[in-house]
Amino acid sequence: MVRGTIDILKRVLDESQYTVALLGSQMKEEAGFLGLKSAEKTYDIEKKYKMSPDYIFSSVYYNTRTDQFFEFYKNEIINVDLEPTESAYALAAMERAGKLQCIISNDVFELPQRAGCQNVISLRGSIYQNKCLHCGKEYSIEYIRKAKGVPLCETCNSVIRPMVYLFGEMLDSRLMTKATEEVEKADVLLCIGTDLDSETFQHYLKYFNGKKMVVIHEEEHYLDQNADIVFVDQPKNVLPKLGY
């Protein structure tokens, strides 16, 4: 493991034939959204709703207490428009320059896509995709926001489902397979805004057999030693400096 510098990272990216980025929760935090499993957010939600976010944002809660689920969903998930940060725009520039071939993200806010990234695997779905599972009609996020109580389909009056993965649900096996294949192809794997102990990404890390694993995250972690290059910093303080 070596401490990263911009010159080292740029050289590694320039030499790579295929680079894949894993985007973790710190990318959302840069945009102003604390993850539901962060200590601060968990405390606030338990204080406000008298139960844990793991339970409220679950398939069981959605199916059994739909009214309360949507109250939480509107207030805590889609109450603000998060804007892409400098990190996301830097990733889009890397992609345009041919230095980044695929992004694998746990972000439901489409931050990299809205910054201009094209090849993105969103493992946990998107708040911008909402669908009536009965008739298939699709709805905008504004329709969900403006609905009084539970949003219902205008055609068949069924509940509209936000196409995000809830706690307790299995991720799409096709997306997982595609993500695994991308990691297997990578010469360079960028772990951005996440550590190597990530609940979301640790499954994929074991498939990396490339040349360099680079970690860019805000706080040191004991598994940093398994990476080749480590930046202990916010992604927004690193990626834009590459200058692509």
* pLDDT, tens only, 53-100: 999 999 999 999 999 999 999 999 998 888 999 999 999 999 999 999
Q: 211-232 burial, b for 16+ CB within 10 Å, e for fewer?
A: ebbbbbbbeebeebeebbbbbe
* pLDDT, tens only, 89-146: 999 999 999 999 999 999 999 999 999 999 999 999 999 999 999 999 999 999 999 9
The domain ranges of the chain are 1-33+81-124+170-244, 34-79, 126-164
What distance in Å separates the CA atoms of residue 5 and residue 3, rounded to the nearest whole number? 7
Whether the model pTM is above 0.75: yes
Q: Which residues contact 23 (CB under 8 A, 6 or more apart)?
A: 91, 103, 104, 105, 106, 107, 112, 192, 193, 194
Q: What is the CATH number of domain 126-164?
A: 3.30.1600.10
CATH superfamily of 1-33+81-124+170-244: TPP-binding domain (3.40.50.1220)
- List the one residue out of 137, 142, 174, 144 whose CA is nearest residue 162: 144
What distance in Å separates the CA atoms of residue 26 and residue 107, rounded to the nearest whole number? 10
